[in-house]
Structure 1
Amino acid sequence: MKDHCQISRWGSLILVLVIQILAGGGVALDQGLVIDLNGYRFDPVQGGAPPLPADLTIDPNDKAQPALVQLQGPIVPEWREQLESIGVTIHDYIPEFAYLVTMDQQAGDLMPHLPFVRWVGPYHPAYRISPRIGGFELVDPERRDDPFKKLTVQVFGNPSLAAVELEGLGLEVIEVVDDLWTPRLVVRALPEMIPVMARQSLVRWIEEVPDFTTQNNNTRWVVQSNLSGQTPLWDHNLHGENEIVTMMDTGLDYNSCWFRENGNAAPNPNHRKVIDYKTWGGSAYDGCGTGHGTHVAGTCTGDQSYINPGNDNYNGLAYRARITVQDVGNDDFFSCLLGLLSVPSSLTSAFSDAYTLGSRIHTNSWGSSSNSYDTHARDVDNFMWSNKDFLAVFAAGNYGPGSGTVGSPATAKNCISVGATRQAPQQETIAGYSSRGPADDNRYKPTLTAPGGEDPNFIFSADNNTGNPPSPTCSVVGSPFQGTSMAAPAVSGSALLVRQYYREGWYPSGAPVSEDGFIPSAALIKATMINSAADMGAADIPNNTEGWGRLLLDNALYFPGDSRFLRIEDETVGLQTGEVDIYSYTVNDGEPFEIVLVWTDYPAATGSGTKLVNDLDLEVEVLGGGLFRGNVFYNGESGMGGTADRLNVEEVVLLNSPGALTYTIRVIAHNVPQGGRQPYALVGTGAFPDWPPHGSSAPENPGPFRRISLQSHPNPFGTQTQLTYRIPGAAVGRKLQLEIVDISGRRIRTLFDGPAGSSGQTLSWDGRDRSGRLVPSGIYFAVLQSLDHRVQEKLIRLQ
C-alpha cells in the first residue's frame, strides 16, 4: 500500500508509465536482439517500439534529440569507429547491441544506411525517467513531507547550459556538477514537472536523490583463517605496511590513541596514521559524537602501538596501513541520531583526491535504501574503469532480510559489496539485518560477507576519545555498533593485505621476492578475495544472501607448507569482441580446484535493463570430461550444461573433487562494445603439481618469477615487424611456441616451436605465410605459449 501511495504522487501520466514498466508489455521475447531499457523490453524490428504515453514521446525525425542505434550483433571495434567517423557521439551502451548517441543532421541521415546498423530510433522521454522515483524509503522527515522532489538530472554536454535551460522552465537548480564522465544537475521540482524536464534534448536521465546513511576482536582471525586466534597473514608480517586506505564516513577522532601521532599532531603526509583529512559535504570535522567513523577506521587500520607497543588486541586488519579521511558527517542532533550523511553529489572528485594521495582502497560504510543502479553507482564504475588499480568497498546495507534490499552505491558492478555475518563464534550465520540481493538487474549481491555482529554480540573497535588532553588508554566500544558498516572495513583492511601480498612479491613463491612484486589490478584483488570465500552453508553459493561466501584469505593466498597453491593471470591489455585467451592448468586431486574470472567493466547507462556492458565468458574444459561454464552451479559446485552468464562481472568454476587431470581454461570476449579492450584477472587455486615454478614450495632463496610477455614493433607494419618475448627463468629449456594466426584462429605461420634457449628473444615476421606468400592486409595475432601460459599480440598488416 505504501508504494502505491508514493507512486500516485507522480500524477496519472507517470502512473501509466510505471504500470507499463512493471508489466513489461507481457510479450515473451528472445534475448538476442531485444533492447532492454528502463523496464521496457522490445525487439524494434520484429515487434516495434512499445506503446508510450504521448507526453513521453518525441518526434523520431528530430535529430536534435538523442537517439538509440542497434547494431547487428556482438560489436566489433570497426563498427564503433565507423559510427564515430561520420560524426556520431557514443554515450552509453544499451543491451542488446545498441548505443545511446547524439549526432547532427548529416550523421543522422547517414547512420541508417551503414550495413551493420539494424535499427535507429528515438530516445524517448519515457526511457529517461527512473521508475523508482517515490519508490524507496526516505529517512529525513523533512524530505518525506516535502511535495517537491530532490532529483539528480544527468545531462548531455555542458551542465551550466543545461541549468540555464531548466531554470527557464521555472525549476530550482540546487547544484551544477561538472563531472568528467557524467555531468549532472541537482534539481528541486514538483512531480508534474518531471515529464517536462525529460523532453529537453539536453536531459539524459532523471532519478530521485536517496538519503545516504551510515550502515550501522574476533574479526581479524575470522577473515584470515577462521581458526580462533590464528592470523597467518600477520604471522608472515603482512600488516598493511606502505599501503594507504581512504575512508568516507562521519569523520575520525585522530586524537584517539588508535590514530594519535607524537605531540597530538594534526593529519599530515608524515603522520604515522592519518595523512590527510578533508570535509566532503560534511559540516564539521568529526561532528557527530557517536564515533561511527572512528569505529569503522579502527576495524580497518586502528593501531594502538603508540600507547601499547606490542599489543595488537583490537587492532585493525591492516593496522600498519595509513589512512586518508573524507568526512561527510553532519553535526546537527537529528542527522547524527538518524545517521544522515552529506555525501557529495558526485563521487568522482573525492575518488580522484584519494587516488592522488596514493590510496588504492576506498572503504565506505554508508549507502541508501535504493536498490537501483543510480548515478552514484555509475560514479563508482566510471572511476574504477578509468583507474583499474582502484578498488571501492561498500557496505551492502542494513535493510534485510527481504530480497532486493542491497542499496546504492553497493549496487555498482565493479565494487565489492559486503554483507554481514554474526560475530564469532556464530560467523556461519548471516545477520538478520544484512541486505540481500539481487541488484535490480538480477546480478548477485552482496559480493562477500564478513562479521558485522548482531545484538547482543557487537563488533568491538576504536572508541571516539575526544577528551582534552586525550585519554592515556586505548578504549574500545561495542554497543551499538553492529551492521554491514562494521563488515565493510574488515573487507577493506583485508584488501590492503592482498594488495601488499602482490606488491611485495609474495606470489608465487609464498615468500617476499622484490623482483616478483607488481601493482595488482583491482580485478585481481577482488578475484583473489572471491576465490578465498567460504560457503557459509545456509544456501548453496552463489546466492543473494552471502554472494560468494564469507571472506577467508588463507584459502587463496599461498605460503610455504600449504597444500593449496595459487596461480594468477592479471591481464592488463585484455580482449576485443571475438578474441579468446586460453590457459592450461594441470591439477592433482585432494584439494578443490577453483577458477575465478573478474573484470572491471565499463560503466552502464543508468536506465539500461542489464548493467553488464563488456561481456566476458569463462569456460573450463577437461578432455573427455565435459565443459563447465562460469556461474553454472548445482549444489554448491560447478556442473556441466547451462548457458553463459550475461549479467555478472564475476564468473567462477569450482570443482570440489577435480581428479588428477589437465584443464583447458578459456576467457572469451563475447561482446566488448565499449572502451576498446577489456582487461581481466584470473585467479586459480588447487593442488598444482610442479608449482611454484621455482621447483620448491618453500625455497630458501627464491629467484624471481616473471610472467610471460609479448610485444611488437612496429605495429601496424608493412613489410616486417619485430616480436619480442620475455619468459620466466623457470621456462628456459622448456617448450615454447610462437605462432601467427588470422582473425578466425587459423594458423598462418609458426615462428618458433621448441625448447626456449633464453628468457628473452626477438623474432621477425615478414608478413608471409608458411608457403612464403604475402598475406593480405588486415588483422592477425601473434600467439606465444610457455609454461601453460598463453598471451597474444594483435598485429595490423598494411599494404
Structure 2
Amino acid sequence: MTLPDPTFEVRLGAARFDPAVAGAEITDEQRDARVGTWLVQLTGPLRAAASTRLRGLGLRLRDYVPPFAYIERLAGTTVETVQADPAVRAVAEVSGEMKLAPAATQPLVSTDDGLTPYRALLVDDTDPAAITAGLIAFGATDVHVDDQRMVGGRVSVRFVMDSDRVADLTTIGELQWIEPLPQLATDAAPGVAAQHATAEHAAAWALGLHGEGQVIGVIDDGPAALAHCYFRDAPDNTPGPQHRKVLQVRNGSQQAGRAHATFVAGCAAGDQLGEPPGTAPDRGGAWAARLVLGNFNDMASFGADPADGATSLLDELTRAAAAGATVHSNSWHALLSDPGDPTPYDLVAADVDTFTWTNEEQLVLGAAGNSREQQGPPGSAKNAVCVAAATANGTALGDGAPGPTEDGRQKPELMMIGCGVRSALSGTACDTGPRSACASSYATPYAAAAAALLRQHLGGTPSGALLKALLIGATDAPTGLTVPDARTGWGTVRLARCLAPELALWDVRKTDGLVTGERRSLTVDVAGPELRVVLTWTEPPGTPGAATAMINELVLEVRPPSGASLRGDLRRRGVPATQTNGVRDAVGMLSVDAPVPGRWTISVEALMVNVGDPGQGFAVAVFGATPVAVG
C-alpha cells in the first residue's frame, strides 16, 4: 500500500491528491487505451538529462502543475515506460474533477436566455472538429474554436450551455480546463478633482525624454475620441504611420469614442494639436509617444461576436505589438470572483503570460480595480504590472482593490499617482478636466507612460522584466506601511530614481537563461547611502486550477566586500533573512541602508526551472551602484 506524502500533494481543480497513490495501479483498460491525459510527477525540479529523456518519450513538459508535475497526452503503451524513468515519481490519470473551475457551476455572466458562456482549453494534438461535435452532443451551442498556436498560444473553444450540465463535459478526455467567461469592468471611481498629476514624469522630461519613438498600446471600453485635439492630426486624421499620435485603432464593433478610453489615452500620451509640443498643461506622461488603440468589447473570449475583432486577449495584445506597441496599458479588469474574494488564475491571465513569455520585450500593465471591487486580469497575471492609485502627493493609497491573488502572489506591485488627474474629455473639441477623484484607471496609463520613458532612456530593446524591475525599484513606501503591502504593493513610483547615474542593469533573455541549479553573478561598485537590488523574471503561462500559477523559482543573493551574504526573504525591503522566499513571486527586492563602500557581488540562482525556452531569463536592477563585470 502506497501512503500519501504531503510534500508531493497536487491540487488541480477540485482534486487534492498524491499522484503516487492515485496512480499506483494502471489498469489493463488504461494500458490498452490509444491515448489519454495523464499527470506525470517527477521526483524533483526538472533537470537537463531528465528533460532530454522524457521529451524523447513524447512528453512536452509544458503544462506544469506543482509540485513537479506535468499534464501530458500519452498512449497507454507509453505510460509504463514513462513511469519507469528514474526521474519520474508517479503517473496518474487526469480525472474530471481536475478540469472544472469552481465558478463554472455558479457563473457571474449569463445570456438573455439564462445560459452561460464558457471557454475551454484543449489538450495538445486534439482534433477541434471532434471536440465541437462532442460539445454539441452534450447540449452546447454557439461553439467556436480559437486556434492561438500561431501566436504562441493554445487551442481553446468557446460555447454556451446550461451551467447545471457543464460538469458533464469533464468526461470529454480532450478538454483540459473549463471556465466561465468573465465580466469586464473599467477601473474609475466616482468623484471629482482638479489637480495635475504628471509631476513624476517631469524628471524624465527635464532630460529630454518625452516618449519620442515609443508606442503605447491602450485597450479600453472603446476607442478614444480621435476628434479631440489631444489625438487629432491635420489635415488628415486617419490613423496610420503618418499620423502624429495614433498608429492604429482596432474597433471592429464600431463604437464611437468613449469617455473612459479618451481620458486614459490622454493620460498616457495625449498632447494638444496646434500648440508647441509638450506645452499643454494636462498632457500625457509620455506626450511625444504614439498610441495603438484597442477595444475590449471586440474580444470574443469576453462574449463578443468573433467577426468583430480579436478572439482573445492574447490575440489583441499580439495585434497591438504588430502595430508597434511595446508597453500596454489596461485600465480595466475581468471579474472572476465576488467582491472581497481573491482572484484566481484563469485563461485570461494565461493569455497575458503567454504573450509576455513569447515576446520578452513587451510589458503589460493592468489596473488593480476599484477599492470596492476585487482584482482580476490583465493586472493579476504573473508577468503583468498591477497598478493601484496613489494620492496626489504619492504618500498613501487613493484607489485600488487589495491582493494577494488566490495563490498568494503579491498584487498590486506598485502605485502611481492616480488622484487629482486631468486629461482629455470626450465630446469636446479640446477640453480637459477631471473625471474621478482617484482611480487605478488613471494610475495605470501614467505607469505605462513612465515605462515608455524608461524604455526611451535605456535605448534598444530592454525586456519587459527589466522595465518592471526599474519601476518596482523606484518606489517609495507609503507613510507608515511595511512593504510590500496588500493594497499598495511596494509603494509609489518615483521616476527620478531610475534616471540616476548610480544604476547597474542586468538583462538576460530566456535563450541564454538559467536552468535548474545554475548560478550567475554580477559585480558592482557601491558608494551610495542605500543599495537596492530588484530581481524580476518573466514566467511561462501557468496552469489554471493548480495550487499556484508559479512555475520557476529564482533566488537573489547579495554579498558585501566582507561578511555574510544577504539572501532569502526578497519580499521585505531592508529585512534580510536566511531562508528563501516563502511566498512565490517573480519579483524580489533586497535593500541595505548605509552599505559598506566597495565591490559587491549580486548573484541569481535557479532553484528550479521547470519550464524553460530553453532556460529562464531574468532582469536585475541595482540602485546605488555602478556595474563592473558579469561572471
Q: TM-score normalised to the size of structure 1?
A: 0.71
Gaps of 5+ in 2: 189-194, 337-342
1:154–1:206: 8 Å Cα contact kept in structure 2?
Answer: yes
Task: Pick closer, same or farther for the CA change 1:543–1:134 going to 2, 3 Å.
Answer: farther
Residue 184 of structure 1: CA displacement? Answer: 1.1
Measured in 2, the distance between the counterparts of 1:136 and 1:436 equals 22
Residue 179 of structure 1: CA displacement? Answer: 1.7
Residue 212 of structure 1: CA displacement? Answer: 1.0
SS in 2 for 1:392: strand
**1:399-425 Cα deviation digits (max 9, x unpaired):** 547xxx321222110011111123x24
2:372–2:401: 8 Å Cα contact kept in structure 1?
Answer: yes
Task: Pick closer, same or farther for the CA change 1:411–1:641 going to 2, 3 Å.
Answer: same
Measured in 2, the distance between the counterparts of 1:242 and 1:309 equals 15
Residue 169 of structure 1: CA displacement? Answer: 2.0
SS in 2 for 1:640: coil
Match of residue 524, structure 1, among 448, 466, 471: 466
Identity of aligned residues (%): 28
2:334–2:376: 8 Å Cα contact kept in structure 1?
Answer: yes
Measured in 2, the distance between the counterparts of 1:490 and 1:29 equals 48
Residue 317 of structure 1: CA displacement? Answer: 0.6
Amino acid aligned to 1:462: A
SS in 1 for 2:223: coil
Show the counterpart of 2:396: 429
Structure 1 residue 789 corresponds to structure 2 residue 630: yes
Measured in 1, the distance between the counterparts of 2:54 and 2:206 equals 56
Measured in 2, the distance between the counterparts of 1:410 and 1:361 equals 13
2:526–2:597: 8 Å Cα contact kept in structure 1?
Answer: yes
Residue 162 of structure 1: CA displacement? Answer: 1.6
Residue 788 of structure 1: CA displacement? Answer: 3.3
**1:182-235 Cα deviation digits (max 9, x unpaired):** 2111121222322211110110101111111211153211x34xxxxxx22101
Task: Pick closer, same or farther for the CA change 1:643–1:251 going to 2, 3 Å.
Answer: same
Measured in 1, the distance between the counterparts of 2:277 and 2:451 equals 25
Show the counterpart of 2:506: 569
Match of residue 536, structure 2, among 586, 593, 598: 598
Task: Pick closer, same or farther for the CA change 1:666–1:315 going to 2, 3 Å.
Answer: same
**1:544-572 Cα deviation digits (max 9, x unpaired):** 1111111111112225xxxxx10011112
**1:560-599 Cα deviation digits (max 9, x unpaired):** xxxxx100111121111111002233323x5211111111
Structure 1 residue 581 corresponds to structure 2 residue 520: yes
Show the counterpart of 1:537: 479
Measured in 2, the distance between the counterparts of 1:311 and 1:63 equals 69
SS in 2 for 1:428: coil
SS in 2 for 1:106: helix
Task: Pick closer, same or farther for the CA change 1:190–1:476 going to 2, 3 Å.
Answer: same
Task: Pick closer, same or farther for the CA change 1:380–1:176 going to 2, 3 Å.
Answer: same
Residue 660 of structure 1: CA displacement? Answer: 2.4
Amino acid aligned to 1:660: P
Match of residue 500, structure 1, among 439, 456, 473: 456
Residue 252 of structure 1: CA displacement? Answer: 1.0
Q: Please, which moves more after superposition, 264-273 or 198-207?
A: 264-273
Gaps of 5+ in 1: 1-26, 51-57, 225-230, 336-341, 504-517, 560-564, 694-786, 791-799
SS in 1 for 2:604: strand
Amino acid aligned to 2:119: T
Structure 1 residue 556 corresponds to structure 2 residue 495: no
Measured in 1, the distance between the counterparts of 2:595 and 2:113 equals 60
- For these two proteins, the number of residue pairs brought into alignment is 597
Structure 1 residue 318 corresponds to structure 2 residue 274: no
Residue 666 of structure 1: CA displacement? Answer: 1.5
**1:277-305 Cα deviation digits (max 9, x unpaired):** 1215xx223354xx111100000000115
Show the counterpart of 1:746: none
Task: Pick closer, same or farther for the CA change 1:420–1:160 going to 2, 3 Å.
Answer: farther
User: Which gives a bigger RCO, structure 1 or 2 (Cα 8 Å, sep 6+)?
Assistant: 2
**1:500-531 Cα deviation digits (max 9, x unpaired):** 0111xxxxxxxxxxxxxx31011111111111
Task: Pick closer, same or farther for the CA change 1:344–1:443 going to 2, 3 Å.
Answer: same
SS in 2 for 1:119: strand
2:214–2:456: 8 Å Cα contact kept in structure 1?
Answer: yes
SS in 1 for 2:476: coil
Higher Cα Rg: structure 1 or 2?
Answer: 1
1:255–1:264: 8 Å Cα contact kept in structure 2?
Answer: no
Match of residue 128, structure 2, among 135, 141, 159: 159
Q: How does 1:13-24 map to 2 (within 5 A)?
A: none
SS in 2 for 1:352: helix
Task: Pick closer, same or farther for the CA change 1:428–1:39 going to 2, 3 Å.
Answer: farther
Q: How does 1:66-81 map to 2 (within 5 A)?
A: 66-81=37-52
Amino acid aligned to 1:303: D
Show the counterpart of 2:439: 483
Structure 1 residue 620 corresponds to structure 2 residue 620: no
Residue 137 of structure 1: CA displacement? Answer: 5.2
**1:145-176 Cα deviation digits (max 9, x unpaired):** 86422211111234343212211222113432
SS in 2 for 1:501: helix
Amino acid aligned to 1:680: F
Q: TM-score normalised to the size of structure 2?
A: 0.89
Measured in 2, the distance between the counterparts of 1:254 and 1:90 equals 47
Task: Pick closer, same or farther for the CA change 1:287–1:502 going to 2, 3 Å.
Answer: closer
1:376–1:408: 8 Å Cα contact kept in structure 2?
Answer: yes
**1:321-348 Cα deviation digits (max 9, x unpaired):** 0111112359xxxx9xxxxxx9955122
SS in 1 for 2:250: strand
1:36–1:96: 8 Å Cα contact kept in structure 2?
Answer: no
1:595–1:684: 8 Å Cα contact kept in structure 2?
Answer: yes
SS in 2 for 1:668: strand
2:473–2:623: 8 Å Cα contact kept in structure 1?
Answer: yes
Match of residue 317, structure 2, among 342, 347, 351: 351
Measured in 2, the distance between the counterparts of 1:198 and 1:406 equals 28
1:499–1:525: 8 Å Cα contact kept in structure 2?
Answer: yes
SS in 2 for 1:639: coil
Show the counterpart of 1:44: 19
Residue 63 of structure 1: CA displacement? Answer: 5.8
Show the counterpart of 1:293: 261
Show the counterpart of 2:10: 35
Q: Please, which moves more after superposition, 518-527 or 88-97?
A: 88-97
Residue 259 of structure 1: CA displacement? Answer: 0.8
Show the counterpart of 1:389: 361
Q: How does 1:370-385 map to 2 (within 5 A)?
A: 370=336, 371-385=343-357
Q: Please, which moves more after superposition, 208-217 or 602-611?
A: 208-217
Show the counterpart of 2:183: 211
Match of residue 211, structure 2, among 240, 243, 257: 240
Q: How does 1:698-713 map to 2 (within 5 A)?
A: none
Measured in 2, the distance between the counterparts of 1:205 and 1:475 equals 48
